[in-house]
Amino acid sequence: MLREFELDMPGNLQETLARLPGGTLLAGGTNLLVDLRARREDAERLIWLGNIDGFRDIKIEDGRVIIGGGTTIGDLLRNPAMAEAAPSLVAAARVFGGQMVRNQATVAGNVCSGSPAADTVPPLLSLDAEVHLTCSTGSRTVPLNDFYTGFKTNQRKHDELVTGLSWAAPGPHTANLFYKLARRKGDAITVVGVAVTVTRDGDRCTEARIALGAVGPTVFRAKDAEAMLTGEPLADDLIDSAARKAMEESSPIDDLRASADYRRHCIHVLTRRLLKQAWEDAA
Amino acid sequence: MSLEKAITVEINGVARELSAPANETLLDCLRRHGQFEVKSGCEKGDCGACAVQIDGEAVDSCLTLAWMVEGKKVTTLEGLNDADSPHPLIAAFLEHGAVQCGYCTPGIMIAAEAMLRDIPDPTDDDIALALSGNLCRCTGYTKIFTAIKQAAEVLRAGGGDD
Amino acid sequence: MTDQEIPYRQAEANVVLRQVGKPLERTDAEGKATGRTRYAGDYTMPGMLHAKVLRSDIASGRLKHLDASKARALPGVVCVLTAQDLPDRLAATDMPGQTGQKRASTDRQILVREIIRHHGEPLALIAAETPAIADKAYDLIEYEIEPMPGVYDTEAALDPGAPIVTEPDNIVGEHKIRKGDTEKGFAEADHIIENTFHTQFIEHAFLEPEVGLAWVDENGVVNIRMSTQVIEHFRFIADALGVPHNKVRILGAMVGGGFGGKEDITVELYLALLAQATRRPVRLAYTREDSFVGHGKRHPFSVSHKTGVTKDGKITALEVKISADSGAYVFLSPYVLLYCAVAAPGPYRIDNVKIDSAAIATNNMYTSAFRGFGAAQACVAYEAQMDEIAKTLGIDRFELRRRNFMRTGDKTATGQTVESAIWADECMTQALEALGEKTAASGPIKIGRGVATYQQSYGRITWFHDTSEAWVGIEVDGTVIVRSGVTDIGAGQASALGQIAAELLGVGLDDVVIYNSDSAVTPLAGTTTATRALYMTGRAVHTASSNLRERLVAFAAQELDARPDEVDLANGQAFVPDDPSKSMSLKDLAARGASEGLERSELAMFRAPFTDPIDQETGQGPVFPDFTYGCHAVEVAVDTETGEVTVLKSVGAHDIGQAINPQAVEGQIEGGALMGQGYALSEELIYQEGKLVSPSFSEYLIPTSMDMPEIKCIILESRSGLGPFGAKGIGEPSLTPVAPAIANAVADAIGTRVFDLPITPEKIVRALRE
């Protein structure tokens, strides 16, 4: 049995916002209900977000993708526009849980869980996504890059709701890739996740983003490595040096799934591969 | 004990009123009301044995609270076994021996049926992706894949309709 | 002599089979495919209580005190049992259902009285009006455990001064096998190759956690309906309750997977105690976490091979040292160890063999039965060793095997003559062929291929004097009923019996209903373990059906004015094939017979070969009824930079004697391929100081639909087995060669070997760096 709690089921956004203080948000429930059962979580009042109209909508306006706070991982896979508007995120969605969990888990919930192994976060960081937060008195937007404050902590205030995420769809000559390394191909916790975006202008890289998952207290961007690439032609040895730099920027730990040493090794390998692939794809 | 609430829900086409406390999962609630074809395997979304569809979408009923299905349509394997027109998946699973211990079967059928509505002509990769949350320990999935492809073919040919 | 010259015995060659050998839809399939089948957890009773087990969360300690008074005082709590509430009885952990054999003195405490020996050892049992109240009571039991030093690996357990988990010295089983003269054999060798292989703790991971419902009936009989492979634990339960054996009845239901994990006693003991104490129906359903910590695991083994070979690849001597972690209680460890020791030389003829083996107690979770039962671990070692030998000699791996395969009439290491077909070579050849063209390597992605062949017993150890019973009857309308205690754990055990009866009685499988798995009302068939159900119970059904057939045929001959040897039964008719005027329906025949007082049923017992135990010092003597032989072949892709492995092709080829239902056989082969793949690559229970730190399916990774390739099955039929129609067994054999085949394929791909399972990406990367 799950421990006892109150279940608040507001019918719209305004009601939801009004009830936020003191409550714990229940979106897909794929983390929260598991934590409640395992007694890692002791929320007394849950606020279910499933009755907010249009909360799962996905829109593309003027080249900018906006997904609602209730958009599920499955919604990403079912939306045919996403393959171009968020290639890395679609790649992550394909290796995210199983079909049922994908239909329940929300992107915003995955982002807010703050787990360094959260699969949607490296892609969203590589897309330079923004987090849209709303409370009963107003709204604000925080770059995802600034959202995390530490292991499983973030900038969302207790009276705020993530109402959506947005990012610019990759333009021409931009490649956006993700790879998840895990102990099993289907439905497994990430050992190392790498997402990269490379924008190319002729034989130069005009912008590069490298986001790394499960190798630090939060998912993060390897900015020193990115800086090595910007403005340069991505020759194999530069790619390799940048991949090494990304490895040096990480701070993985040993756990049941892998050692820190192996994780570092894989960051180097995967970052190198993805950058090389992205550089070719962006041509 | 948490407060019980009566929820109105359509289960396999039949309007039902179920009483449930706030902290009861849909899995426990359905089984308590006699839907034993919904199986409990892990209670944390790892195995898919408890999969049901809510308004046509496959979900793990262990990660769904009973109250969340208020006003919705819930489909279990029983709902695919309409006496007049059983779903072609059932015949295909029988023909190809895709059922062994049978404990994962209800969840797999639910996941497969949802996929076939999205992807009428699935590749092996499509099926693998659709079933990656449904653990099966008896088969190696080979016969399950064969059966799903056959059911897809039957559905594309217009079979399974009334 | 070549194998062609040795005639293996062959059953009923060239017989036309009408039902047997056909891929019929299993009798249990429709109920499962429509969700109508009721599993043990789907039964409820009015007034039913809900039970819960409180367990120790550390592996080694002393229970200083335990106070259940607050829990008992909670409204809705009906019963809390602690060791103090139980008479000082023990629970059996020995092999169930042995006839006429003395039980090993390996019984364990039912609930912790003082000493805690493993993580998850039960401290108290709770029965309450609702699951929620049982949960609350669980939190209200107060107890204090003083941690004690434990021992968590087998080497440390043998150190002087090590904590003693099992008296007197932590050694819970030892077996020796001595054949020929290994010193002489090594002297004749051109090369001596030594390697040590390690396997890990693994979990059965059946999808249906242990569950049951018990009640005491009007006759004072404790009834337990549950998910189990072994209804014949009723005797052990009666002993633990202190009641006569006929006062406990175990009823099964279709089992949601077993694989050996539902072979030992699980929930039935707790259910029986609570039902006896409360006199109310009690239901106990394990959570997945309960299941992970609540039943025995597959033994980790360390197996060292020292093999002498001539330069042309003939094995001249083999020395094997085996140690197994038996965990905190003995359970089936001595037998699992025996299986490993006997299997250790593989399907190879080796004249000089010396094997020493020991099972050693630790404070890890106890280990017991698991599909493959020690023989699987043996295969992980001997087939890897064969590839290592081939590499050293520069001989083709498959050719090396061919030069050493046993032939029918050869003796095993224990001196048992194999009388059935040994088609390991043919199976290997066909499996390799089925792999087809090799996939091309690309950059860091290397392709490797591997095979493993095997010799695996079917049927139980012959000094258990194993028997099985079945009853077959024909109703007055010509329909057929089979009754047998066999449990159906998902492989179609019951349906196969129906197919055998249908064959012999001339009806379709649709005309047969099978009643199974009830210790009180179906004839006792023994366990569904040891790849014995089809072999043993199939033979019992075969005998019962044949005897009934004989009587029906004799009666039909009278009715049709023909000789009995002219009458055949088929398609629901008794008829004389050459004379269309002479036929009658089975329905009429049965009705006529009934009115004439013809006995329309038969109860038969099948007895496996009975032997005396092997010699303790030399291990010489017969151990098993017979063996299955086969091969699994795989092709893998290995990413040499990340260590990721993808299994691209997977083929099982097995001589199973005679397929009763080929589709069900394929199901076993495919399931074995999945389980073996997990064993090789991703599955591992991680214990830290004896505590299981990965008790869920998000940490314990069995292969998913995205991990499995299409599996090809090749069924060979020598009709040389001891089972019905010459069948052998496939339940365990299908698994055994898979993990070593994958290990060999990975080694082939990367040019070096990972010696301990699972072969994780990280280990591959490490091996490549070294």
Residue B84 shares a structural domain with residue B150: yes
The beta-carbon neighbor of B142 closest among C28, C254, C670 is C670
The beta-carbon neighbor of B90 closest among C34, C285, C710 is C34
What pLDDT, in 10s, does the model give residues C236-292?
999 999 999 999 999 999 999 999 999 999 999 999 999 999 999 999 999 999 999
Q: How many domains does chain B have?
A: 2
Cβ–Cβ gap C135/A1 under 8 Å: yes
Q: Is residue B90 part of a domain?
A: yes
Residue B111 shares a structural domain with residue B133: yes
Q: Is B129 on the interface with A (CB under 8 A)?
A: yes
Q: Which of C290, C644, C694 should one mutate to test binding to chain A, selecting the residue with the greatest count of A CBs within 10 A?
A: C644
Provide mean pLDDT across the span C101-108. 73
Whether the predicted pLDDT of B162 surpasses 50: no
Q: Which two tokens stand for residue A174?
A: 């931009």
Q: Is residue B117 part of a domain?
A: yes
The beta-carbon neighbor of B135 closest among C132, C207, C663 is C207
Residue B45 shares a structural domain with residue B86: no
Question: Considering only CB atoms, which chain B residues are within 8 Å of A5?
Answer: 2, 22-23
Residue C56 shares a structural domain with residue C142: yes
- CATH code for the domain in which residue C309 is found: 3.30.365.10
What span, in angstroms and rounded, lies between the C-alpha atoms of B161 and A136? 50
Cβ–Cβ gap C765/A1 under 8 Å: no
Residue B85 shares a structural domain with residue B58: no
Residue C747 shares a structural domain with residue C676: yes
Q: pLDDT value at position C348?
A: 98
Select from B76, B103, B124 the last residue of a domain. Answer: B76
Q: pLDDT value at position B1?
A: 47
Residue C445 shares a structural domain with residue C337: yes
Residue C568 shares a structural domain with residue C553: yes
Q: Which domain holds residue B139?
A: 80-156
Smallest CA–CA separation between A5 and chain B, in Å?
Answer: 6
Q: Which of C706, C763, C766 should one mutate to test binding to chain A, selecting the residue with the greatest count of A CBs within 10 A?
A: C706
Cβ–Cβ gap C670/B36 under 8 Å: no
Residue B133 shares a structural domain with residue B72: no
Q: Is residue C165 part of a domain?
A: no
Nearest CA in chain C to B105: C33
Question: Considering only CB atoms, which chain A residues are within 8 Å of B129?
Answer: 94, 99
Q: Is residue B41 part of a domain?
A: yes
Instruction: With beta carbons less than 8 A apart as the criterion, state whether A173 and A251 touch.
Output: no
Q: Is A269 on the interface with C (CB under 8 A)?
A: yes
Q: Is A144 on the interface with C (CB under 8 A)?
A: no
- CATH code for the domain in which residue B16 is found: 3.10.20.30
Q: Is residue B52 part of a domain?
A: yes
Q: Is residue C230 part of a domain?
A: yes
What span, in angstroms and rounded, lies between the C-alpha atoms of C24 and C208? 26
Select from C262, C285, C308 the last residue of a domain. Answer: C285
Smallest CA–CA separation between C26 and chain B, in Å?
Answer: 8
Residue C509 shares a structural domain with residue C524: yes
Question: Considering only CB atoms, which chain B residues are within 8 Å of C734?
Answer: none
Give the distance from CA C47 to its chain's centroid: 36
Q: pLDDT value at position C1?
A: 36
Select from C554, C577, C607 the last residue of a domain. Answer: C607
Residue C680 shares a structural domain with residue C759: yes
Smallest CA–CA separation between C454 and chain A, in Å?
Answer: 27
Q: Is C620 on the interface with B (CB under 8 A)?
A: no
Question: Which of 642-671 (C) contact B at CB < 8 A?
Answer: 650, 663-664, 666-667, 670-671
Q: Is residue B161 part of a domain?
A: no
Q: Is B134 on the interface with C (CB under 8 A)?
A: yes
Residue C121 shares a structural domain with residue C243: yes
Question: Considering only CB atoms, which chain C residues are within 8 Å of A191?
Answer: 761
Whether omega before A252 lies within 30 degrees of 0, making that bond cis, reads no
Q: pLDDT value at position B2?
A: 60
Smallest CA–CA separation between A128 and chain C, in Å?
Answer: 27
Q: How many domains does chain C have?
A: 3
Nearest CA in chain B to C664: B97
What pLDDT, in 10s, does the model give residues A143-171?
999 999 999 999 999 999 999 999 999 99
Q: pLDDT value at position A282?
A: 96
Q: Is residue C338 part of a domain?
A: yes
Residue C362 shares a structural domain with residue C511: no
Q: Is residue C171 part of a domain?
A: no
What span, in angstroms and rounded, lies between the C-alpha atoms of C662 and C666? 6
What pLDDT, in 10s, does the model give residues C387-427?
999 999 999 999 999 999 999 999 999 999 999 999 999 99
Whether the predicted pLDDT of C694 surpasses 90: no
Cβ–Cβ gap B23/A101 under 8 Å: no
Whether the predicted pLDDT of C132 surpasses 50: yes
Cβ–Cβ gap B100/C491 under 8 Å: yes
Nearest CA in chain C to B104: C207
Q: Is residue C673 part of a domain?
A: yes
Q: Which chains form contacts with chain A, at 3 or more CB pairs under 8 Å? A: B, C
The beta-carbon neighbor of A9 closest among B2, B44, B67 is B67
Provide mean pLDDT across the span C374-391. 98
What mean pLDDT value characterizes chain B?
Answer: 95
Q: Is C288 on the interface with B (CB under 8 A)?
A: yes
Q: Is C536 on the interface with B (CB under 8 A)?
A: no
Select from B54, B76, B98 the last residue of a domain. Answer: B76
Residue B69 shares a structural domain with residue B84: no
Whether the predicted pLDDT of B124 surpasses 60: yes
Instruction: With beta carbons less than 8 A apart as the criterion, state whether A274 and A282 touch.
Output: no
Residue B92 shares a structural domain with residue B65: no
| CB-count burial class (<10 Å; 0-12, 13-18, 19+) for C160 | exposed
Cβ–Cβ gap A186/B60 under 8 Å: no
Select from C223, C253, C285 the last residue of a domain. Answer: C285
B79 pLDDT band (50/70/90 cuts)?
very high
Provide mean pLDDT across the span C510-520. 98
Residue B8 shares a structural domain with residue B72: yes
Residue C497 shares a structural domain with residue C633: no
Distances (CA, A) of C20 to A135, C501, C573: 70, 9, 18
What pLDDT, in 10s, does the model give residues B84-120?
889 999 999 999 999 999 999 999 999 999 999 999 9
Q: Is residue B91 part of a domain?
A: yes
Cβ–Cβ gap B97/C25 under 8 Å: yes
Distances (CA, A) of C419 to C7, C408, C626, C720: 9, 6, 8, 8
Q: pLDDT value at position B3?
A: 78
Q: Which of A100, A102, A106 should one mutate to test binding to chain B, selecting the residue with the greatest count of B CBs within 10 A?
A: A100
What pLDDT, in 10s, does the model give residues C324-355?
999 999 999 999 999 999 999 999 999 999 99
Residue C690 shares a structural domain with residue C548: no
Angle formed at CA C628 by CA C623 and CA C632, multiple of 5 degrees? 130
Residues of chain A with pLDDT under 50: none
Residue C371 shares a structural domain with residue C400: yes
The contacts of residue C114 (CB under 8 Å, 6+ apart) are C62, C63
How much of chain C, in percent, has pLDDT values that exceed 90?
95
Q: Is residue B85 part of a domain?
A: yes
Question: Considering only CB atoms, which chain B residues are within 8 Å of C673?
Answer: 140
Residue C263 shares a structural domain with residue C319: no
The contacts of residue C16 (CB under 8 Å, 6+ apart) are none
Q: pLDDT value at position C103?
A: 62
Question: Considering only CB atoms, which chain C residues are within 8 Å of A280?
Answer: none
How is residue C530 annotated by DSSP?
T
Q: Which chains form contacts with chain C, at 3 or more CB pairs under 8 Å? A: A, B
Q: Is residue C661 part of a domain?
A: yes
Q: Is residue B50 part of a domain?
A: yes
How is residue C693 annotated by DSSP?
S
Q: Is C697 on the interface with B (CB under 8 A)?
A: yes
Residue B91 shares a structural domain with residue B45: no
The contacts of residue C134 (CB under 8 Å, 6+ apart) are C50, C51, C52, C77, C126, C127, C128
Identify the H or E element spanning C715. strand C711-716
What pLDDT, in 10s, does the model give residues C599-635?
999 999 999 999 999 999 999 999 999 999 999 999 9
- CATH code for the domain in which residue B126 is found: 1.10.150.120
No. of helices (H) and no. of strands (E), chain A = 12, 14
The beta-carbon neighbor of C666 closest among B81, B97, B131 is B97
ipTM of the complex: 0.97
Question: Considering only CB atoms, which chain C residues are within 8 Å of B4?
Answer: none
Q: pLDDT value at position C87?
A: 87
Q: pLDDT value at position B82?
A: 85
Question: Which of 32-71 (B) contact C at CB < 8 A?
Answer: 36-37, 39-44, 46-47, 49
Q: pLDDT value at position C106?
A: 82
Q: Which domain holds residue C350?
A: 297-405+414-462+613-769
Cβ–Cβ gap A262/C762 under 8 Å: yes
Cβ–Cβ gap C35/B86 under 8 Å: no
Q: pLDDT value at position C291?
A: 98
Q: Is residue C13 part of a domain?
A: no
Whether the predicted pLDDT of C598 surpasses 60: yes
Provide mean pLDDT across the span C179-197. 98
Smallest CA–CA separation between B97 and chain A, in Å?
Answer: 24
Residues of A with CB under 8 A from a CB of B: 1-7, 9, 26, 28-30, 33-34, 37-38, 48, 50, 74, 78, 94, 97-104, 185-187
Cβ–Cβ gap B65/A34 under 8 Å: no
What mean pLDDT value characterizes chain C?
Answer: 96
Residue B146 shares a structural domain with residue B94: yes
Q: Is residue C519 part of a domain?
A: yes
Select from B76, B99, B134 the last residue of a domain. Answer: B76
Q: Which of A266, A267, A274 should one mutate to test binding to chain C, selecting the residue with the greatest count of C CBs within 10 A?
A: A266
Provide mean pLDDT across the span C573-585. 95
The beta-carbon neighbor of C694 closest among A1, A187, A256 is A256
Question: Considering only CB atoms, which chain C residues are within 8 Å of B78?
Answer: 34-35
What span, in angstroms and rounded, lies between the C-alpha atoms of C379 and C423? 17
How is residue C441 annotated by DSSP?
P
> Beta strand A220-221 with A204-213: parallel, antiparallel or unpaired?
antiparallel
